[in-house]
C-alpha cells in the first residue's frame, strides 16, 4: 500500500474545511456605485440649474392652465344649451359604435387601465419564471455539491480506516515518529469527514423541507381543483361522508386500506363516478327483480314522478321502471 501524505493533505482532491461553509455564499455582487457630481465653487451646479428651470416651467404651465380654464368657462357660458354633444365613431368587435366625448374619454381610461393591468401581470409572470429558473439552478448546483460530498465522504472514510489500521503497537515501538505522523493525518482526515457529513446532512434536511412545502402546495392545488369539479363537497359533513363511502368502495374493488388515498383530483373524480355508476346499476337490478317477481295479472301503470328531492327526474323515473332506456337517460344526466 502506498504511504499516505502527512500533515492533512486530503489526497484525491479532498476539499478544504472552509469549502463546506462557503459553498452557498451569495455570489451576487453589489451594483457599481456612481461617482458623486462635483460643483466648482462660485458656479451654479447642474442640480440647481435643473431645479430653477423646473420651477420656471411649473409657473408657466400654471399660468397657461389658468388661461385655458378661463377660455373654457367663456365657451361654456356662451354655448347653446340645445346643441348636441360631439360624437365619435369607433369600431368594437367589427361593429361601429358612436361615443360622446365623455364616453370616449372613459373608454380610453378603461383601455389604459387594462393595458396597465396586463403589463403588471406580464411582469409578475416573468419575475416568477425568473425566480423559478434561479431556484432550479440553485438546486442543480446543490445536487452536484451533494454528490461530491458523498464521494468525498466515502473516500475519506476509507482513508481513515486504512490509517487507523497502521497504528499498531509494533509501529509505536519501532518507529514512534511515523506512528505520530500517521495518527495526526488520520485525525485530520476524520475532522474533514465529519465536516463533509454535516454539510451533507444539512443538504438532506433542506431537501426534506422543500419536499414537504411542495407536497403542501400540491395538496392545496388539488383540493381547489377537486372542489371546482365537485362543488357539493364544499359542505364538510357531506364531503366526509362521501369520502368514507368512496374508500369503502375502493377496498371492495381490491385496493388496500391505505392505497386508496389518491393525491390527484382526477383519480378521485373517476373513482367517484365509478362508485355512483355501480350504485345506479345495483338499484336497477333490484328494481328489475321486484318487477319480475310481481304478479303477472297486475297491470303496471305509469306512476307519477314524485316531487323533486334534489335528484334528476330521469334518476327517479329509472328507480321506478328499471328499464335500460331510463338507466341510460339517468346516467347521461348524472355524468354527461
* Contact present, 100 and 85 (Cβ < 8 Å): yes
- Confidence label for 316 from pLDDT (cuts 50, 70 and 90): confident
pTM beyond cutoff 0.75? no
User: Is the confidence at residue 220, as pLDDT, over 70?
Assistant: yes
* Contact present, 151 and 14 (Cβ < 8 Å): no
On average, the pLDDT of the chain sits at: 75
- Confidence label for 76 from pLDDT (cuts 50, 70 and 90): low
- Confidence label for 100 from pLDDT (cuts 50, 70 and 90): confident
Higher pLDDT, 234 or 57: 234
Domain boundaries, the chain: 86-218, 230-294+311-335
Higher pLDDT, 2 or 48: 48
How far is residue 155's CA from residue 162's CA, in Å, rounded to a whole number? 11
Q: For the residues 5-30, what does the mean pLDDT come to?
A: 39
Residue 150: per-residue pLDDT: 94
- Beta-carbon contacts of 243 under 8 Å, excluding residues fewer than 6 positions away, are none
Query: Which residue, chain included where needed, has cell 367663456?
Result: 74
How far is residue 235's CA from residue 246's CA, in Å, rounded to a whole number? 16
How far is residue 23's CA from residue 16's CA, in Å, rounded to a whole number? 11
Q: What is the 3-state secondary structure (H, E, C) of 146-183?
A: HHHHHHHHHHHHHHHHHHHHHCCHHHHHHCHHHHHHHH
User: Is the confidence at residue 308, as pLDDT, over 50?
Assistant: yes
Q: For the residues 134-149, what does the mean pLDDT come to?
A: 92
pLDDT digits (tens, 9 = 90+) for 265-294: 999 999 999 999 999 998 888 877 777 776
Write out the three cell numbers for 27.
Answer: 455570489
pLDDT digits (tens, 9 = 90+) for 26-39: 333 334 444 444 44
Looking at 3-7, 59-63, 78-82, 276-280, which range is the least confident one? Answer: 3-7
How far is residue 69's CA from residue 63's CA, in Å, rounded to a whole number? 10
User: Is the confidence at residue 166, as pLDDT, over 70?
Assistant: yes
Query: Which residue, chain included where needed, has cell 345506479?
Result: 280
User: Is the confidence at residue 83, as pLDDT, over 50?
Assistant: yes
User: Is the confidence at residue 121, as pLDDT, over 70?
Assistant: yes
Write out the three cell numbers for 5.
Answer: 501524505
Handedness of CA 145, 150, 151, 152 (dihedral sign): positive
Write out the three cell numbers for 264.
Answer: 390527484
* Contact present, 313 and 307 (Cβ < 8 Å): no
Question: What letter does residue 275 receive in the DSSP assignment?
Answer: H
* Contact present, 159 and 189 (Cβ < 8 Å): yes
Give the max Cα distance, the chain.
123
- Confidence label for 239 from pLDDT (cuts 50, 70 and 90): very high
87 forms beta bridges with 100
Residue 306: per-residue pLDDT: 54
Write out the three cell numbers for 182.
Answer: 500517521
Write out the three cell numbers for 151.
Answer: 464521494
Handedness of CA 3, 5, 6, 10 (dihedral sign): negative
- Beta-carbon contacts of 262 under 8 Å, excluding residues fewer than 6 positions away, are 268, 271
Q: Taking CA 89 as the corner, what is the angle to CA 83 and CA 90, rounded to the nearest 5 degrees?
A: 145
* Contact present, 98 and 89 (Cβ < 8 Å): yes
Higher pLDDT, 15 or 82: 82
Write out the three cell numbers for 42.
Answer: 462660485
Residue 57: per-residue pLDDT: 65
Residue 180: per-residue pLDDT: 95
User: Is the confidence at residue 303, as pLDDT, over 60?
Assistant: no
| Alpha helix segments (H runs only) across the chain | 17-22, 46-78, 101-166, 169-174, 176-229, 236-252, 265-293, 313-321, 324-335
Residue 68: per-residue pLDDT: 60
Amino acid at each position: 500500500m502506498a504511504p499516505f501524505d502527512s500533515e492533512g493533505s486530503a489526497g484525491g482532491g479532498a476539499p478544504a474545511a472552509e469549502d463546506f461553509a462557503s459553498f452557498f455564499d451569495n455570489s451576487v455582487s453589489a451594483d457599481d456605485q456612481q461617482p458623486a457630481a462635483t460643483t466648482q465653487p462660485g458656479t451654479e451646479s447642474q442640480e440647481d440649474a435643473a431645479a430653477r428651470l423646473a420651477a420656471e416651467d411649473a409657473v408657466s404651465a400654471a399660468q397657461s392652465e389658468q388661461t385655458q380654464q378661463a377660455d373654457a368657462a367663456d365657451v361654456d357660458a356662451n354655448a347653446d344649451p340645445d346643441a348636441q354633444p360631439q360624437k365619435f365613431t369607433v369600431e368594437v368587435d367589427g361593429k361601429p359604435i358612436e361615443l360622446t366625448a365623455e364616453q370616449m374619454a372613459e373608454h380610453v381610461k378603461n383601455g389604459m387601465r387594462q393595458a396597465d393591468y396586463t403589463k403588471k401581470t406580464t411582469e409578475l409572470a416573468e419575475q416568477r419564471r425568473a425566480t423559478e429558473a434561479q431556484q432550479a439552478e440553485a438546486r442543480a448546483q446543490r445536487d452536484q455539491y451533494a454528490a461530491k460530498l458523498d464521494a468525498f465522504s466515502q473516500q475519506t472514510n476509507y482513508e481513515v480506516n486504512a490509517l487507523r489500521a497502521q497504528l499498531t503497537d509494533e509501529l509505536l515501538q519501532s518507529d514512534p515518529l511515523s506512528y505520530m505522523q500517521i495518527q495526526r493525518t488520520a485525525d485530520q482526515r476524520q475532522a474533514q469527514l465529519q465536516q463533509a457529513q454535516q454539510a451533507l446532512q444539512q443538504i438532506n434536511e433542506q431537501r426534506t423541507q422543500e419536499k414537504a412545502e411542495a407536497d403542501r402546495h400540491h395538496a392545496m392545488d388539488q383540493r381547489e381543483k377537486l372542489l371546482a369539479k365537485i362543488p357539493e363537497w364544499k359542505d364538510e359533513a357531506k364531503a366526509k361522508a362521501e369520502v368514507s363511502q368512496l374508500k369503502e368502495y375502493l377496498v371492495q374493488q381490491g385496493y388496500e386500506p391505505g392505497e386508496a388515498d389518491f393525491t390527484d383530483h382526477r383519480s378521485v373524480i373517476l373513482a367517484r363516478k365509478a362508485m355512483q355508476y355501480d350504485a345506479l346499476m345495483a338499484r336497477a337490478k333490484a328494481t328489475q327483480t321486484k318487477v319480475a317477481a310481481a304478479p303477472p295479472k297486475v297491470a303496471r301503470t305509469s306512476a307519477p314522478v314524485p316531487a323533486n328531492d334534489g335528484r334528476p327526474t330521469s334518476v327517479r323515473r329509472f328507480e321506478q321502471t328499471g328499464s335500460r332506456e331510463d338507466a341510460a337517460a339517468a346516467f347521461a344526466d348524472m355524468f354527461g
